[in-house]
Amino acid sequence: MSDRIKEKLSILADAAKYDVSCSSSGSNRKNKDKGLGNASNGICHAYTEDGRCVSLLKILLTNFCIYDCAYCVSRKSNDVKRAAFTVQEVVDLTINFYRRNYIEGLFLSSGIFTNPDYTMERLVQVAKKLRLEHNFNGYIHLKTIPGASEELMKEAGKWADRLSINVEMPTEKSLALLAPDKKREDMIKPMLYLKQEILANKEEKKIFKKTPSFAPAGQSTQMVIGATPETDLEILYMANGFYKTMNMRRVYYSGYVPISNDNRLPAIGTPVPMIRENRLYQADWLMRFYGFKVNEIVDKENPLLDIDIDPKLGWALRNMNLFPMDINTIDYQLLMRVPGIGIQSANKITAARKFSRITWEHLKKIGISINRAKYFIHTDSEFEKKDLQPLQIKQIILQEGNSKYKPNFSPQLKMF
Amino acid sequence: MNIVIYDGSFEGLMTAIFEIYEYKIAQPNIVNSNKETGSLFGNVHEVQTNKEKTARVFKKLKDKLTPNAFSNLYKTFLSEIKDIENILYRYIAYILSSKVSVENDYSNADVLELQQITKKVHREKHRMEAFVRFQLTQDQLYFCIIQPDFNVLPLISKHFKNRYADQRWLIYDSSRKYGLYYDLETVEEVSMNFENDVNNKAELKSICDEKEELYQKLWCIYFGSINIAARKNMKLHIQHMPKRYWRYLTEKNNVN
């Protein structure tokens, strides 16, 4: 018995690991009637050797699947071991992991067996059982199965903190190529439905405080990048659209890990596009927290993000006419845009300059990255870097900096 | 230099600060009586911890500080880092000397340093909320041993009480020899000397619930299975989970 559950867990965790979402924040579920757990800010309880955070028990209910999506390890035609948990097994694992403080909650997804509704119904059962039978108030993220009925989605939102439907591919064309069984429309329609339900629930809660929550941590989505030829421009415009029109909490970018010999896809052994993925997340952060518009990050002339420098530095170098700026007077919104200054440093600088003139010494202590910022700001002392061209600045920063990706920048192939 | 000795408690420090003003002690150097060794040069003033004096310092500070900055005083004190008493004293002296609110004056060295210590203590608090790994005993107590860099037990109490309201638990700090025990009603500080080696498997097995070993094993399987080998990045792994914590983490030392 215990050997079987060990095997199932290893198969169904392994199959779930390409779903990158691990967030467990954004909900505000309190511990009710002295039950088990709560969900608020999200805690990363462990980190795997690939450096990714482990916050949730992230598993598939089953990796049996009727679909044959080329990029997916659980595709019908793939020769892998198959397994399926019972509803009770998932509930027991969640509760016992949670009580030991291993996890913040459950992220349950599934291969599609029989049909979408049948699958979705099982996912909902797990969440319902956790909430009602175990008074479990920890975090629950359910994957919404494309094609599942609206009644089931509504039921799911009643018990889950977050729901997500993966858009899978950045464009419809790529989806048609790699996942012929799936239609973009089957993903967009439920997203719109969830958006409306979430908004309606928020309105209702304003009037009746006791209204039960509907997916209080909102919805998110994910797309695979690097499996198909889309540019960063296409990817970021798509993400921007999701943030603007779908009220998505997060868009995740999953660098394609080659798992198949299918000739529609990069061959096994092709490196995972990790730098590109990192640059996309940086761009995503600029849109969500730094007030950047998507067209300031990528445009028709620059459809690809620079691999060797981050997108904020890239933007600054393209806009040298704005710099240098006076650190003692620069507007907060622009201060955040200075390379080498993050949100926290920007907050400290604006607080500190109410008391005294800011000097380089202050900036050093506050902890900004002087090596970057010095080309873009000046203090009361003279600004000395005025004659440098953007390309020269880039070269100096690259030479001084010790990027973890440096070995990858060299265009020459290492033979040994 | 005038030496001011206090008993190592937060109230003791507040009394010391009160008396520095009361007796107009110039250039004070505050030292913890539990830590200081060797001879002390200069005049020595010994402080008896006093509730009333503490309360008066608190009252004055509450007028001058936002609730957040006020609670940071205690948080930074728990860092137990060298000279924290004197940094706190200088900070408080600066706050009291100014007519306007200066708690965000990061151009002042002490204000900035306290902010940075607050951040470190907060990070350690957060780590303990993450890295506690409960083990279930036969009498259904969830227990865990930790060894945090700072004295953060007082700061994590509320989190565990709110979250694990329906199970008895004990979190023990083996460096500072005390723990928190929750009995389904309240959390209490308990002092004890827990000599047992946390990693003595045979001994643990004798006190643990029959299912405990299975769930530890399942957790380790899970931890191994969700790793993507093609993305291996040990530097990042260790940055997030520094090695000094590994001996208390089930998934990092249950390798077999």
Tell me if chain A has a CB within 8 Å of the CB of B253: no
Nearest Cα residue to A251 out of A291, A288, A204, A292 = A288
Among B residues 48-67, those touching chain A with beta carbons less than 8 Å apart: none
- Amino acid in the structure at residue A128: K
Give the DSSP per-residue string, A282-313.
Answer: HHHHHHHHS---HHHH--SS--S--SSS-HHH
First to last CA, chain B: 58
Q: Could you give the CA distance from residue A148 to residue A53 in angstroms, rounded to a whole number? A: 30
The pLDDT tens digits for A131-179 are 999 999 999 999 999 999 999 999 999 999 999 999 999 999 999 999 9
The pLDDT tens digits for B167-195 are 999 999 999 999 999 999 999 999 877 66
Residues 6+ apart with CB under 8 A from B235: A51, A404
- Contact present, A152 and A142 (Cβ < 8 Å): no
pLDDT band at A21 (very low <50, low <70, confident <90, very high): confident
Task: Write down the pLDDT at residue B231.
Answer: 87
CB contact under 8 A, A257 and B228: yes
Tell me if chain A has a CB within 8 Å of the CB of B102: yes
Among A residues 389-408, those touching chain B with beta carbons less than 8 Å apart: 404
For residue B211, list chain A residues with Cβ-Cβ distance below 8 A.
96
Average pLDDT, chain B: 92
What pairing do the DSSP bridges indicate for beta strands A377-378 and A325-326?
parallel
The pLDDT tens digits for A178-202 are 998 889 998 999 999 999 999 999 9
Tell me if chain B has a CB within 8 Å of the CB of A257: yes
> In the CATH hierarchy, which fold is given to the domain comprising A2-266?
TIM Barrel (3.20.20)
Residues 6+ apart with CB under 8 A from A185: none
- In this predicted structure, the answer to whether residue B197 has a pLDDT above a threshold of 70 is no
Residue of chain B nearest A257, judged by CA positions = B230
Residues 6+ apart with CB under 8 A from A111: A15, A60, A61, A62, A63, A64, A65, A67, A74, A119
The pLDDT tens digits for B215-248 are 999 999 999 999 998 889 999 999 999 999 998 9
Tell me if chain A has a CB within 8 Å of the CB of B134: yes
The pLDDT tens digits for A250-259 are 999 999 999 8
- In this predicted structure, the answer to whether residue A15 has a pLDDT above a threshold of 80 is yes
Please say whether the dihedral angle defined by the alpha carbons of residues A185, A191, A196 and A201, taken in this order, is positive or negative.
positive
Q: Could you give the CA distance from residue A182 to residue B207 in angstroms, rounded to a whole number? A: 53
Which residues is A253 bridged to in the sheet?
A223
Domain boundaries, chain A: 2-266, 313-408
CB contact under 8 A, A366 and B233: no
pLDDT band at A383 (very low <50, low <70, confident <90, very high): low
From the candidates A7, A30, A47, which should be mutated to test the interface with B, based on the most B CB atoms within 10 A? A47
CB contact under 8 A, B166 and A35: yes
Size of interface A-B (CB pairs under 8 A): 161
Question: Percent helix, strand and coil across chain B, each rounded to 5?
Answer: 50, 15, 35
Tell me if chain B has a CB within 8 Å of the CB of A358: yes
- Contact present, A13 and B226 (Cβ < 8 Å): yes
Percent of chain B exceeding pLDDT 90 equals 83
Averaged pLDDT for residues A74-90? 96
Between the CA of residue B44 and those of A218, B9, B20, what are the distances in Å? 61, 18, 12
Among B residues 161-200, those touching chain A with beta carbons less than 8 Å apart: 162-167
Averaged pLDDT for residues A292-308? 95
- Amino acid in the structure at residue A235: I
The pLDDT tens digits for B20-62 are 999 999 999 999 998 865 566 778 899 999 999 999 999 999 9
Residue of chain A nearest B135, judged by CA positions = A100
Nearest to B226 among A13, A43, A366 (CB): A13
- Contact present, B124 and B149 (Cβ < 8 Å): yes
Q: Could you give the CA distance from residue A354 to residue A343 in angstroms, rounded to a whole number? A: 18
CB contact under 8 A, B144 and A18: no
